[in-house]
């Protein structure tokens, strides 16, 4: 009788372990594309530093983004110094925060990440441009398992991209 229980327990254990291993290694594909519009011309910049986070784990970063957006007028009374200070602090905090995925100097305008499944991601990108004080894009997206998800990181405003070619 003990031998039968042992065999049944082993069989049950054998069936459970592979399923558990599959669920722990499941990945979701997230494709990122960059976009920027300058003087009516649509471009897809490269060399952006991109970080992907689980939204539920980075509320402080989201607050910093909100502060950045609220103070993104370089012609404000305090001038560009406040904007640059917030931008620099945000960039340092993003780089120091553990991410689901990260790429420095994205080699192409499209890049794919295989990340562990989470409900919602937020992606931050910092570009390298010589003619702008700040080059930043942020995009959130909901993820559904077993699907490829695409997010566009727009370094420009929608108004700048309306009618861009």
Q: How far is Cα 164 from Cα 8, in angstroms, rounded to an integer?
A: 66
Q: Which residues pair with 155 in a beta bridge?
A: none
Q: Which residue has the higher pLDDT, 31 or 37?
A: 31
The answer to whether 36 and 44 are in contact (CB under 8 A) is yes
**Predicted local distance difference test score (pLDDT) of residue 80:** 77
Q: 134: which 2 tokens?
A: 């700040």
Confidence of residue 14 (pLDDT cuts 50, 70, 90): very low
pLDDT at 12 over 60: no
The structure's pTM equals 0.79
Q: What is the pLDDT of residues 99-122, one digit of tens each?
A: 999 999 999 999 999 999 999 999
CATH number of 27-161: 2.60.40.1120
Query: Domain map of the chain by residue range?
Result: 27-161
């Amino acid at each position: 009788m003990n031998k039968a229980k042992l065999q049944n327990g082993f069989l049950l254990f054998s069936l459970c372990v592979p399923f558990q291993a599959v669920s722990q290694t499941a990945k979701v594909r997230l494709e990122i594309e960059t976009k920027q519009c300058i003087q009516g011309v649509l471009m897809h910049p490269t060399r952006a530093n991109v970080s992907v986070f689980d939204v539920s784990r980075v509320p402080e970063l989201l607050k910093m983004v909100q502060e950045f957006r609220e103070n993104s007028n370089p012609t404000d009374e305090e001038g560009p110094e406040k904007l640059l200070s917030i931008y620099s602090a945000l960039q340092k905090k993003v780089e120091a925060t553990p991410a689901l995925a990260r790429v420095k100097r994205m080699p192409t305008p499209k890049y794919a990440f295989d990340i562990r499944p989470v409900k919602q991601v937020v992606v931050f990108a910092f570009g390298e441009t010589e003619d702008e004080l700040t080059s930043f894009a942020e995009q959130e997206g909901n993820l559904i398992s077993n699907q490829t998800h695409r997010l566009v990181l727009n370094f420009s405003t929608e108004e700048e991209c309306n009618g861009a070619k």
